[in-house]
A and B are shown apart, each in its own frame.
Chain A
Amino acid sequence: MKQSQESLLGDLATYFFYMVTGIFFIFPILWSLSVALGSQESVLFDGLRIFPKNPTLENFKAVLAFPVFDLYLWNALKLSFFGALGASLICLPSAYAFSRFDWKGRKTALILILVFKMFSGIIILVPLYRYLRMLGLLNSHFVVICVYIGVQIPMTTWLLKGFCDKVPKSLEESAMIDGCSRLGAVFRVVLPTLISGFMAAFIINIITNWGTFIIPFILLSKEKLLPIAVGLLRFQNFYEGGGQELVAAASVLSILPAIIIFVLLQRLIIKSMTTGAVKG
């Protein structure tokens, strides 16, 4: 009896805690949404109203009609997509090598790859900017995509290696006994079972790339080439004095894709977050 009473008290405390943390984590976004749904007057005069008096989608329409805004979104999609595709494809063979071959220094190499993840983007971007400028390769989406891929290699390799480890070795061994070469066995037997792992790496890369800021911020300067994360900052600086409702609408629009993908695929994403931290 006493036990269950205590548990009930604990549950009540949990819900109180849920309320406080829920407000803390959601409110800043909710307030942006409220600003985005209000008119210019409501931003200036309504003050505390969390739900604007006459909610309107005008700001969203205005932002989407803004000459370069759809380009920002399009560029972000393009960079995220090809960056994710490239990273997943390039890391497939290396993940396979780490999973199947045993060579001297395999473990060291696996950890060394993680070390790369630790260096800040800004450290590599200072020299990269310098020599890309000399080569006239600034403002190139192709180069930016390559850097996206490079930065994502450590995480993607680890993630895909985990999926590779789960494919039983006996599958390709029996294929090889039946006369397949290793390459043939990989294409016919291993790859088809790796599709879900590949999709996981691809989607997680897309989400990370969508928010990537410092790489395009430094390597791209032409307005037409910027992805949303950088464009948003330009937008904010442009409307410094007034027009916050427009910036808020733009900000909400930039969050939406990430949230939609996340809610659909949360288990997968949560799993990837612990990669390299827990399993070691």
Chain B
Amino acid sequence: MLVNFLKKWVNEENPYMWLMPTILLLGGFYLWPIIDVIRISFTNAHLYKRTYNFTFDTIVQAFSTSGFFETLWVTFIYVLASVVGQLILGLILAVILRRATDRRLPGTTLIKIAILIPWMMPGVSAGISWNYLLSEASVGFFNNALQSFGYEPVRFLSDKTNALISVCAANIWKGTAFSMIVFYAAVSTLPSNLYAASAVDGAKPWQQLIFITLPQMKTIITIVLILITIGTLNSLEIILALTGGGPGRSTEVMSLFILNTVFVRGNIALGSVFAVILMLICLALTFAYMRLIELDKE
């Protein structure tokens, strides 16, 4: 029986044999942890204690944890600002770069590289670079500039509102390359006869942008929106290097909050509840993304 079983499964025409390494790794390093994090969220486990009991208390406790709603709010603002900023800037860049490429303007590749470098570099380096730009110590560029022109220094990083704005700006700076590249590819596939026809009818370039380009790109814009949202929810390196989540809790986004709950306070059950909440948000966004991909194919 075993021999028959092996003969049936272990052969080169069985696609699952080819997929086996991928299935094992995804199972071990993704699927199992995801199931486990849900399980832990129903316990009172502590990072450094071996025993635990199953309970709903942690889930109830999560919603009364100090800083939870502030973190949700900060995450919401951080994601919203980053997404809106990256979408608009990426779209403008894509349209301008497309036109410049068509007209073979020199320097276009150089600008593309300049925008892509922040995207390529490690997040911690990005945070450090922005730290030196905005710092209130002697190294900070902007405050040096302000002072040499006789203005008061601005508390870019130690004021709560300013710190959140700074973190968003740094994230937009780092992430815009992605939306630009995807939009650039999308703009390149738009049918050119629409533009020619509308030009004959006397349409101005900005009218073409609003009435032809944007409606044609509705789906891809939404897809990019969802991908950036998920990417932003997952990123914390810039914040760690730029503000460390402070001052107070003013830049402590969800992923950082989970990190602190689990690894600073040792409360792995509570951290798991927050992780599950973050996971549900990601999952909802993913379903929206998949639905759109299918719509796009039809």
Contact = CB atoms under 8 A, between A and B. Distances in A.
Nearest to B286: A118
Contact of B133 (A28, A211, A251, A278): A28
30 contacts: A14-B100, A21-B115, A22-B114, A28-B126, A28-B173, A32-B132, A48-B148, A90-B25, A94-B18, A109-B19, A116-B30, A119-B282, A120-B233, A122-B236, A126-B40, A128-B33, A150-B25, A150-B29, A210-B122, A218-B263, A233-B124, A236-B131, A244-B137, A254-B124, A255-B117, A258-B122, A259-B121, A270-B116, A274-B185, A277-B182
Interface of A: 7, 10-11, 14-15, 17-18, 21-22, 24-29, 31-32, 35, 43-45, 47-48, 90-91, 93-94, 96-97, 101, 103, 106, 109, 111, 113-116, 118-131, 146-147, 149-151, 153, 157, 181-183, 207, 210-211, 213-214, 218, 228-230, 232-233, 236, 244, 247-248, 251-252, 254-255, 258-259, 262-263, 266, 269-270, 273-274, 277-278, 280
B271 A126 contact: yes
B116 A262 contact: yes
Contact of A90 (B22, B105, B285): B22
Contact of A14 (B15, B105, B236, B271): B105
A94 B33 CA distance: 22
B37 A123 contact: yes
A41 B222 CA distance: 50
A45 B128 CA distance: 20
B59 interface: no
Given A48-B144, A130-B40, A121 B121 contact: no
Contacts of B124: 213, 229-230, 232-233, 236, 251, 254
Given A232-B122, A236-B241, 19 more contacts: A10-B99, A17-B96, A25-B118, A25-B173, A27-B133, A101-B18, A116-B26, A118-B289, A120-B279, A123-B282, A126-B272, A128-B33, A153-B22, A210-B122, A213-B122, A232-B241, A251-B128, A262-B117, A274-B185
Contacts of B131: 236
Contacts of B290: 111, 114-115
B137 to A, nearest CB: 7
Nearest to B275: A123
Contacts of A122: 234, 236, 255, 258-259, 275, 278
A25 B125 contact: no
Contacts of B262: 126, 129
B93 interface: yes
A127 B36 contact: yes
B240 A233 contact: yes
B139 A118 contact: no
A151 B272 CA distance: 20
Given A124-B33, A183-B12, A236-B241, A44 B128 contact: no
A56 B239 CA distance: 30
B113 interface: yes
A274 B182 contact: yes
A60 to B, nearest CB: 15
A182 B240 CA distance: 50
Given A35-B132, A127-B37, A211 B121 contact: yes
Contact of B293 (A10, A111, A126, A213): A111
Contacts of B21: 90, 93-94
Interface in B68-82: none
Interface stretch (B155-163, B208-216, B223-231): B223-231
B200 to A, nearest CB: 12
A11 B144 CA distance: 34
A24 B133 CA distance: 12
B198 interface: no
Nearest to A242: B137
Contacts of A125: 33
B152 interface: no
A18 B279 CA distance: 39
A149 B25 contact: yes
B164 interface: no
Nearest to A47: B144
Most A C-beta atoms less than 10 A away, residue of B40, B126, B178, B224: B126
Most buried by B among A7, A122, A274: A122
B182 A273 contact: yes
B9 to A, nearest CB: 13
A205 to B, nearest CB: 13
B132 to A, nearest CB: 6
B22 A91 contact: yes
A216 B93 CA distance: 34
Contacts of B88: none
Nearest to B31: A116
B138 interface: yes
A270 B117 CA distance: 12
Interface string B238-266: 00110000000000000100110011000
